[in-house]
Structure 1
Amino acid sequence: MSVDGALARVIRSAAGRAERTEAETCELCAADVAAEHPHLYDTGAAEVRCVCRPCSVLFADDGAGEGRYRLVPRRRLRLPPVDTGVLGVPVGLVFFVPRADGTVTAQGPSPAGAMRWEVDPAAWQRLVAAVPQLATMTPDVEALLVNTVRGLDAHWIVPVDDCYRMVALVRREWRGLSGGGEVWPAVEQFFRELTERS
């Protein structure tokens, strides 16, 4: 085989691999998944996994996985303003995830990814007593998402994968020390596009 022929074969092979990796696949059965697809929360790895609809059905109502995988719900619920200052988290763009073991983590986006804090469980319980909707959150897979940056006052119960999308958006759009001119309009657009789902 000529050098030109071998090079062309390598280029075609690399292009084929790039196309295959760009298309998302189910992390359980390797089937292609649509742009809008379900997610599972892997409790062992503390990560969100993409799944196809047929595989997601296996995990509805904690049906399979012996608790290792939890289906991320699709509920989004807009809340009235919530006084999260009592939780002691010093940022205005943050999400709070109650865990199955009773702990609560707060995570805020940054240019390097998510920053993480442990929240005082007693302070969280006081907040839940003041805002009863928070008691309906499913541990590990739903979060209280808050944005009080630049005069906004947005509070939502959302699927945890929405929070990770927001972290990725901030990381992608951040420029320089202050974020630049693109990140905050992009975050505001993210919150405008949130719609309630039940």
Structure 2
Amino acid sequence: MTADGALARMIRSSAGRRTGDAEERCDLCGAPIAADHRHLYDTGREEMLCACRACSVLFVEDGAGDGHYRLVPQRRVRLPEIDTEPLGVPVGLAFFVPRADGTVSAHYPSPAGATRWEVDAGAWRRAVATCPQLAGVEPEVEALLVNTARSLRHHWIVPVDDCFRLVALVRREWRGLSGGGRLWPAIEGFFTELRSTA
């Protein structure tokens, strides 16, 4: 998955809404789209696409688009606490995206974007064994989102576009060497919103 392309699109979208730039358009048909539009994962190009309501409805059924486009789900599930230390998380805020080939990529938001590394396959299997709900995470379009920073214990299954929104938020709000005074309240607001939509 090319997180950089999806991230760049989300940042442009966020900036456009703040400055009143031209409205966003559907990547399939070119129609104007609402701020809360759905996303498709293009398996051929490995990137996220913005979709208007009419186009997103075409991909609701599994197998639509012959597997080329996959509609990003909307479910958000709070999980019990998971021991993520064996997954190699160097920071308290990270997300894990399983891929169709069985591998898992991990990412953490930073002021430069999403830093990525590969998760040890055995460590991921052990995490799934302790939390069987992780076995149902849809490859490429859902993620395990973890926030253990500041003594928090948030573990979620979320749509992958939520993760890219979080990366964009960190880039936008980060100030100085440690993030500044706006970063953590913004992250807390993000997780408050997650709880309200779960």
Could you say which TM-score interval applies, normalised by the shorter chain? 0.7 to 0.9
Aligned partner of 1:10 in structure 2 is: none
Distance 1:75 1:22 in 2: 30
Given that residues 142 and 157 in structure 1 are in contact (C-alpha distance below 8 angstroms), is that contact kept between their aligned partners in structure 2? yes
The correspondence of residues 116-131 of structure 1 with structure 2, limited to 5 A, is: 116-131=116-131
1:183 aligns to 2:187 (yes or no): no
Given that residues 76 and 196 in structure 1 are in contact (C-alpha distance below 8 angstroms), is that contact kept between their aligned partners in structure 2? no
Given that residues 43 and 68 in structure 1 are in contact (C-alpha distance below 8 angstroms), is that contact kept between their aligned partners in structure 2? yes
Provide the TM-score with structure 1 as the length reference: 0.86
For residue 153 of structure 1, report the CA deviation from its aligned partner: 0.9
1:149 aligns to 2:120 (yes or no): no
For residue 105 of structure 1, report the CA deviation from its aligned partner: 0.4
Could you give the per-residue CA deviations for residues 90-134 of structure 1, whole angstroms, max 9, x where no partner exists? 111000000000000000000010000100111101110110111
Distance 2:195 2:27 in 1: 27
1:57 aligns to 2:57 (yes or no): yes
User: In percent, how many aligned pairs have the same letter?
Assistant: 68
The correspondence of residues 1-198 of structure 1 with structure 2, limited to 5 A, is: 22-195=22-195
Distance 2:196 2:47 in 1: 24
For residue 196 of structure 1, report the CA deviation from its aligned partner: 6.4
For residue 181 of structure 1, report the CA deviation from its aligned partner: 0.8
Given that residues 74 and 197 in structure 1 are in contact (C-alpha distance below 8 angstroms), is that contact kept between their aligned partners in structure 2? no
Asked which structure has the greater CA Rg, the reply is: 1
Distance 1:186 1:126 in 2: 32
CA 179–83 in structure 1, closer or farther in 2 if over 3 Å, else same: same
Given that residues 147 and 155 in structure 1 are in contact (C-alpha distance below 8 angstroms), is that contact kept between their aligned partners in structure 2? yes
One-letter code of the match for 1:65?
Answer: G
SS in 2 for 1:86: helix
Distance 1:153 1:22 in 2: 39
CA 66–122 in structure 1, closer or farther in 2 if over 3 Å, else same: same
Unmatched 5+ stretches in structure 1: 1-17
SS in 1 for 2:94: strand
Stretches (4+) displaced over 4 A = none
Unmatched 5+ stretches in structure 2: 1-18
Provide the TM-score with structure 2 as the length reference: 0.86
Given that residues 77 and 197 in structure 1 are in contact (C-alpha distance below 8 angstroms), is that contact kept between their aligned partners in structure 2? no
One-letter code of the match for 1:62?
Answer: D
Distance 2:88 2:174 in 1: 25
Q: Which moved more, 1:186-195 or 1:106-115?
A: 186-195
For residue 66 of structure 1, report the CA deviation from its aligned partner: 2.8
Distance 1:188 1:90 in 2: 20
